[in-house]
A and B are shown apart, each in its own frame.
Chain A
Amino acid sequence: MSTGAAATPLVEFRDVRKVYGKGDSEVRALDGVSFTISDGEFVAVMGASGSGKSTCLNVLGCLDSPTQGAYLFRGVEVGVLSADQLALLRRNFLGFVFQGFNLLARTTALENVELPLVYRRVPAGERRRLALQALADVGLLGREHHTPAELSGGQQQRVAIARAVVTNPSMLLADEPTGNLDSVRKDEIMRILVEMNGKRGITIVMVTHEPDMARFATRTVRFKDGKIAEDVGRAA
C-alpha cells in the first residue's frame, strides 16, 4: 500500500446513523457506526438479520444515504451528492453482486456483462472484448450466449461477478453472494472473489451470515442492533 492510500482510506464512516420510519415505529438500522476500509481489504460483514448489516452495505454502495453522520468515499462526502452524482459514482467506482444474482432475464450472459460498459459509453468492440475477458476470468467462456434461464445458480452468480468487475471497480459490494447456492458452488464463488481481491486488488465488502464464508475474508465486522459489536482481523 502506498502512503497516499493509507492517508486517505477508500471509505470512511463517521458516526453514521440511518433511521427508518418515525415516532413509535422508528427503526434505527444504523446507530452511530464509524469505521474505515482501506484499499485491497476483503471485509466480511456479519450479524443477525435486522442488525443493520444490509443497510450498511446499501449506504456503502451509494444506493441509500445516511440520515445522520458522514460517509466519505476517497475523502469525498457522499451525503451531499445528488441522485445523478451517486449514479455516476456507482458507475465508475463500484460493483455489485446480489444474493438473487439479479441478471437481466432473457438477456445473454455477454449482454449482461456488457451492461455497465454501455452506461460508461465504452465503444461496442471494446465492450465486447472486455466482457469476454471478464467472463473468461470467472470461467464462463463458451457460455456467453446463454441466458440466465439456461445457466445454473453458480454460473449465474459468476456472470454477476463478471458484470461487477468488468469495469474494474475500486470496491465490490456483495450481499449474501452465496446465500442461494449449495456448498460446492459457495466455495467456487468464494474462490473467485478471493482471486479478484488478491490478483486484481479489488476491495470487497461482503455481507454474509455464514461463518464459513466469512473465513475467506481478511477482516470481519460484526453488527448488533445497528452498532458494530466486533471488528477483527483488520489489516495492518
Chain B
Amino acid sequence: MIWTTWIMALREIRRNTMRSILTTLGIVIGVASVIAMVTLGRGATAKITADIASMGSNLLILAPGADRRGPAAQTAPAFKLQDAKAIVREASAVASVAPSATGTQLIVYGDKNWNTSITGTTNDYFEVRGFAFAHGGGFSDAEESTGAAVCVLGETVRHQLFGLQDPIGATIRVGNIPCAVVGTLKTKGHSSFGNDQDDFVAIPLATFQRRIAGNTDVGAIFITTVSDHEARRATWQIQSLMRERRRIAPGGADDFTVEDMKEIAKTLGSVTGALTGLLGAIAGVSLLVGGIGIMNIMLVSVTERTREIGIRLAIGARGREVLLQFLVEAVTLSALGGLVGAVLGLGASYAGAREVGLPFKIAPDVLLLALGFSTTVGIAFGFFPARKAAGLHPIDALRHE
C-alpha cells in the first residue's frame, strides 16, 4: 500500500509541477544554504589552519613591545643580533633562529620596477618560515658576515621583474644598492590574513642594517622549536632570557611578546568554527521556514482538493489511507527538495571554494543532517494538513465547491 501510495504521490506531484516546485523552494534553499555555509565554513577553518602551519612549523615569533596593538610597541627598544645569538646559545628547546629587519623599497630591473618589502635576515629564515628554493640558493656565510649586496626573490617579485627571463646572476637595484640575485623561492600564496607571502626580497641582515636602515636594530625574531610539544617550554625559556637581557625587574611587565603560531591557529580555528556554527544555525532557520511553507501549501492543497478527498472516501478510502496519501506527498516533496537542495548546496560550495581558493571537502554529517531534517520537516508539517484531510466527512467533502 505504501508503494502504491507513493506512486500516487509522485503522480500528484508531477500533475502540479509548478506548485510542487514552489512548495519545495523553501526546503531547497534551506538545505542548500545549510550545506553551503557549513562546507565553506569548514573549508575556511581548514585553510586557515593549514596556512598558519605553512608559515613555518613550530614557529614562534619574538617581537618588541608588550602588545602589538599598544603604544608600548614604539617605545620598547629593538632587539640586536646578539639577542638572536643568545637564544640559540641558551634556549635548549629552540632549534633555529632567524632575526629579521624589514623596510619598504623600490626595486628596479631594466625598465621594470616594483615596490616591495625588503627583509634583512639570515639563511635560516627560509627554513624557519617554510620557504623552499625554486632556483639558486641562500646566502653564503661570507656574504652574511660581510654584508654583501646579494638577494633572494620571492615569487611575486621574480614574476614582476623578470617574467619569463632567468633572474639568477642578474643585478637588480634595491633602493640605491645594486644587488645580485642568488636565488628565487617557490610560492607560498596568500596567507589567511590576505597578504601575499611571496611579495618580498630577502638580503643579508648586515647588508640591510648597514646600507638601508643605517642602524643595528633587529625587528622580529623567527624561532622554531625542536619539536611540536616544546613550544611552551621554548616560550618560557625565551621569555626569561629576554627579561634578563633587557633588565626587566621582577614583577615588571614584559616589553616584548612571544607569539606561538599554533595558538593563533587554534584561536582562529575556533573563531571560524563558531562562525560556521552560527551561519549553519541561521541557514537552519530558513529550513524551518521552508517546512512551514510546505505545511502552508499542503493546507491549501487539502482545501483545494476537498472534493477529491470526498471522491476517494466515497470510493472506499479509509481515513488513514487519505492521511497516508497526504503525508507521503508532503514527505516526498520535502525529501525531493532536500535532495535538490543538497546538490545545489554542494555545487554552490564547490564553486565558492574554487572562487576564493578554499579546500572543498564534502561534509557527510551535514549532508545527512540536512536531508534527515528536511524529511522530518515534511513529516512534522505534513501531518497536520494530512490529519485535516483524513478527518473530513465524505458528504461535506463531496459537496465542497
Which residues does A use to contact B, with CB under 8 Å?
58, 61, 63-64, 83-84, 87-88, 90-92, 94, 96, 98, 102-107, 111, 115-116, 118-121, 163
- Pairs across A and B, CB under 8 Å, 7 listed: A63-B395, A84-B319, A90-B314, A102-B311, A106-B15, A115-B315, A118-B8
Identify the closest chain A residue to B391 (Cβ).
A83
- State whether the Cβ of B214 lies closer than 8 Å to any Cβ in chain A: no
Q: Report A-chain residues with C-beta under 8 Å of the C-beta of B398.
A: 63, 98, 102
Contact of B316 with A by CB under 8 A: yes
- Give the distance in Å from the alpha carbon of A104 to the alpha carbon of B315 in the complex: 12
Q: Are A90 and B307 in contact (CB under 8 A)?
A: no
Across the interface, which residues of B come within 8 angstroms of A64, CB to CB? Answer: 395
Beta-carbon nearest neighbor of B322 in chain A: A87
- Chain B: minimal CB distance from A134 (Å): 14
CA distance A116 to B395 in the complex (A): 18
Given contact pairs A107-B11, A119-B321, a sample of 9 additional A-B residue pairs in the complex whose CB atoms are under 8 Å apart:
A84-B319, A90-B314, A90-B316, A91-B315, A104-B308, A105-B308, A116-B315, A121-B1, A121-B4
**How near does chain A come to B321, taking the closest CB pair, in angstroms?**
7
User: Contact at B313–A87, with CB atoms within 8 Å?
Assistant: yes
Task: Point out the residue from B307, B311, B314, B318 that lies within 8 Å of A88, measured CB to CB.
Answer: B318
Pairs A-B, 8 closest by C-beta atoms: A91-B316, A90-B316, A87-B318, A63-B394, A116-B315, A84-B318, A106-B15, A102-B311
What string of 1s and 0s marks CB contacts (under 8 Å) between B186-211 and chain A? Answer: 00000000000000000000000000
Determine whether the beta carbon of A119 is less than 8 Å from that of B320. Answer: no
Complex: chain A residue closest to B313, CB-CB: A87
B317 at the interface (CB under 8 A from A): yes
The interface centre, meaning the residue of B8, B312, B314 with most chain A CB atoms within 10 A of its CB, is B314
Decide: A61 and B314 in contact? CB cutoff 8 A.
Answer: yes
CB contacts (< 8 Å) of B8 on chain A: these are: 118
- Which residues of A lie under 8 Å from residue B307 when comparing CB positions? 102
- Please name all residues of chain A whose beta carbon is closer than 8 Å to the beta carbon of B311 when the two chains form the complex: 102-104
Chain B residues within an 8 Å CB radius of A103: 311
Closest residue of chain A to B1, judged by CB? A121
Q: Taking the nearest CB of chain A, how far is it from the CB of B193, in angstroms?
A: 59
Q: Give chain B's interface residues, CB within 8 Å of chain A.
A: 1, 4, 8, 11, 15, 307-308, 310-321, 394-395, 398
Q: Chain B: interface secondary structure?
A: helix
Other-chain residue from A92, A105, A106 in contact with B316 (beta carbon distance below 8 A): A92
Residues of chain B contacted by A105 (CB below 8 angstroms): 308
Partner of B315, one of A83, A84, A96: A96
List the A side residues contacting B394 at CB < 8 Å.
63
Distance in angstroms between the alpha carbons of A118 and B319 in the assembled complex? 15
Q: In the complex, which residues of chain B have a beta carbon less than 8 angstroms from the beta carbon of A84?
A: 318-320
Q: How distant is the Cα of A115 from the Cα of B312 in the complex, in angstroms?
A: 8
Contacts of B308 in A (CB 8 A): 104-105
Asked whether A83 lies within 8 Å of B319 as measured between CB atoms, the reply is yes
Bound state CA distance, A129 and B311, in angstroms? 22
Question: Which chain A residues lie closer than 8 Å to B11 at the CB level?
Answer: 107, 111
Q: Is A118's CB under 8 angstroms from B4's CB? A: yes
The answer to whether A90 touches B319 (Cβ under 8 A) is: no
Decide: A63 and B315 in contact? CB cutoff 8 A: no
Question: Which residue of A has the minimal Cβ distance to B5?
Answer: A118
| C-alpha gap A188/B15 in the complex (Å) | 31
Rounded to whole angstroms, the CA-CA distance of A111 and B4 in the bound complex is: 13
B228–chain A nearest beta-carbon distance, Å: 66
Partner of A90, one of B1, B315, B321, B395: B315
Report how far A105 CA is from B395 CA in the complex, Å: 19
**CB–CB A87/B15 < 8 A:** no
- Residues of chain A within 8 A (CB-CB) of B319 are 83-84, 87
CA of A88 to CA of B318 in the docked complex: distance in angstroms? Answer: 7
